[in-house]
């Protein structure tokens, strides 16, 4: 099996003295669907933020496709992020832009043709039950709708690694099931997924590896 991600003794300390992550070591195989769980404040979001290079570790190293993240100069970070999709816990959508614009933005930056952008965006919106919402500003959407827009934006690039932080936190049980099915489909298509959640209903009976974080420590490496 081929490794896509590896963390070696990764710690994150927030000043003055909050140890959000404490010497985390684990590896993820290409094609895995990995869950990270643990109580509020355990460090789940911090861990995903470090993998996406939104923040840097205080110590330790993270390897994506065998390359240390610390070796990426600033100007190469966008290239890295093209390979890693992320659904943030707080979405980080452009509230005053439309659904279409939010999902299309990374393709536009890459210079993908207008027709191709339209085709891909409409297809992913349909898959996520957002057809007809294209021209609506994101600020008018419900929490669950925003969550699905964030997921559409994360996967539009067909990332190799998808990071999802509580991606069903605002969804009712029917939408949760639908979104989890989309994750399963993406995984079956070859996308490696790391999903952080405190909701054990998401991973029981799914027979996937589950890492448990507690107060910044991994309980089951």
Residues that bind ligand ATP (CB under 6 A): 14, 18, 20, 38, 40-46, 89, 198
Q: Phi first, then psi: give them for residue 150, nearest 5 degrees.
A: -60, -40
Q: Which does 14 bind (CB under 5 to 8 A by kind): Mg ion, ligand ATP, none?
A: ligand ATP
Residue facing Mg ion at closest CB distance:
45
Complex with ligand ATP: residue 137 or 144, whichever CB lies closer: 144
Considering the rule CB under 5 A, would residue 45 count as an interface residue with Mg ion?
yes
Complex with Mg ion: residue 125 or 195, whichever CB lies closer: 195
Instruction: Tell me the window of 11-19, 43-51, 103-111, 173-181 that interacts with Mg ion (CB under 5 A).
Output: 43-51
Q: Which does 18 bind (CB under 5 to 8 A by kind): Mg ion, ligand ATP, none?
A: ligand ATP
CA dihedral 60, 211, 21, 58 (to 10 degrees): 20
Cβ at position 39, least distance to Mg ion in Å: 10
Instruction: Tell me the window of 37-45, 110-118, 121-129, 130-138 that interacts with Mg ion (CB under 5 A).
Output: 37-45
What contacts 220, CB < 8 A, 6 or more positions away?
210, 211, 212
Cβ at position 217, least distance to ligand ATP in Å: 12
Cβ at position 84, least distance to ligand ATP in Å: 18
Residues that bind Mg ion (CB under 5 A): 44-45, 89
């Amino acid at each position: 099996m081929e490794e896509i991600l590896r963390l070696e003794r990764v710690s994150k300390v927030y000043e003055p003295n909050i140890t959000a992550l404490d010497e985390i070591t684990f590896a993820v195989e290409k094609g895995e669907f990995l869950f990270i769980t643990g109580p509020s404040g355990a460090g789940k979001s911090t861990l995903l933020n470090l993998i996406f290079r939104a923040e840097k570790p205080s110590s330790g190293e993270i390897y994506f496709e065998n390359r240390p993240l610390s070796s990426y100069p600033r100007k190469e970070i966008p290239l890295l992020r093209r390979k890693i999709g992320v659904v943030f816990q707080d979405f980080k959508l452009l509230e005053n832009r439309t659904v279409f614009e939010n999902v299309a933005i990374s393709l536009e930056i890459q210079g993908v043709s207008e027709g191709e952008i339209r085709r891909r965006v409409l297809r992913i919106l349909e898959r996520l039950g957002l057809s007809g919402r294209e021209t609506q500003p994101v600020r008018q959407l419900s929490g669950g709708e925003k969550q699905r827009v964030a997921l559409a934006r994360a996967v539009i690039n067909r990332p190799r690694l998808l990071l999802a932080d509580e991606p069903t936190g605002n969804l009712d049980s029917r939408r949760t099931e639908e979104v989890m099915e989309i994750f399963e489909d993406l995984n079956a298509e070859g996308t490696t997924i790391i999903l952080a959640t405190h909701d054990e209903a998401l991973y029981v009976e799914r027979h996937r590896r589950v890492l448990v974080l507690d107060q910044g420590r991994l309980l089951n490496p």
